[in-house]
């Protein structure tokens, strides 16, 4: 019989006090893949980790640090560093002690901080550890573990790629909105178009800001 045990360490959302091991009946999970990395133009030294919906067109951008980006990059490019990185050591320890990473679950996002949980199994016992999403993804890539999130998360933080046709005059307006963040005098339709173009150009950080502005306007109207 498999037993369950939850270990909450630094990085787990403090608002979630209950056991984080959830059955598939309790929550709708979406399988994600690592689409790539992008340099952040708005935050010096930071990168954007882009996760893609495995069976859809939604993408989830997450701002991460340079060291975590490097660790993820090595795995994506299948490169071996001169000396093992922290996540390589973690993967080796899991193997040595018979600790199997079953999956990574991106569970929450509070004030632009993403929370992830690592689901391990060891000798018939399930163990859940809280983690930074970047560390969780870096480890998952090294051991081949799947990455999941929720439908709710993708609705709140995800981006949808859509092919759109824009008139030349409107294109200039959209570019100005994206580049200069002149949102006060922009209509909702213009912001929506700017959001789509930002996503098409893989400007995920800018797209997140525009999306938040649209959400703020929607809440103000309700």
The Cα 122–Cα 136 span in angstroms is 18
- pLDDT at 126 (0 to 100): 92
Q: Is the pLDDT of residue 216 over 50?
A: yes
Contact 30, 24 (CB under 8 A): no
Q: Which two tokens stand for residue 48?
A: 């954007």
Going edge to edge, which strands form the sheet with 125-132?
Answer: 3-7, 125-132, 113-122, 100-110, 147-150, 29-39, 47-53, 58-64, 159-160
Domains delineated in the chain: 3-157 (3.10.690.10), 163-221 (no CATH)
Predicted structure pTM score: 0.65
For residue 221, CA distances in Å to 30, 32, 136, 214, 218 come to 31, 33, 38, 11, 5
Helix axis angle, 188-200 relative to 204-221, nearest 10°?
Answer: 160
Question: 90-99, 141-150, 187-196: which has the minimum mean pLDDT?
Answer: 187-196
pLDDT tens per residue across span 89-122: 899 999 999 999 999 999 988 888 899 999 999 9
3-state helix, strand, coil in the chain (%, to 5): 40, 30, 35
């Amino acid at each position: 019989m498999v037993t369950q045990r939850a270990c909450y360490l630094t990085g787990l959302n403090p608002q979630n006090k209950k056991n984080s091991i959830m059955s598939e009946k309790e929550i709708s999970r979406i399988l994600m893949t690592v689409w790539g990395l992008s340099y952040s133009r708005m935050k010096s030294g930071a990168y954007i980790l882009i996760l893609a919906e495995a069976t859809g067109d939604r993408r989830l951008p997450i701002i991460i640090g340079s060291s975590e980006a490097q660790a993820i990059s090595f795995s994506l490019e299948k490169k071996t560093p001169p000396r093992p990185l922290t996540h390589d050591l973690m993967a080796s320890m899991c193997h040595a002690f018979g600790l199997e990473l079953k999956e990574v679950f991106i569970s929450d996002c509070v004030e632009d901080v993403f929370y992830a949980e690592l689901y391990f199994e060891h000798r018939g016992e399930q163990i859940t550890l809280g983690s930074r999403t970047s560390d969780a993804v870096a480890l998952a890539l090294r051991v081949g573990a799947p990455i999941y999130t929720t439908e709710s998360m993708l609705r709140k933080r995800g981006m949808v790629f859509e092919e759109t046709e824009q008139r030349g005059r409107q294109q200039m307006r959209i570019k100005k909105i994206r580049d200069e963040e002149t949102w006060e005098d922009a209509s909702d339709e213009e912001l929506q178009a700017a959001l789509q173009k930002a996503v098409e150009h893989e400007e995920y950080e800018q797209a997140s800001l525009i999306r938040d502005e649209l959400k703020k306007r929607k809440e103000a109207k309700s």
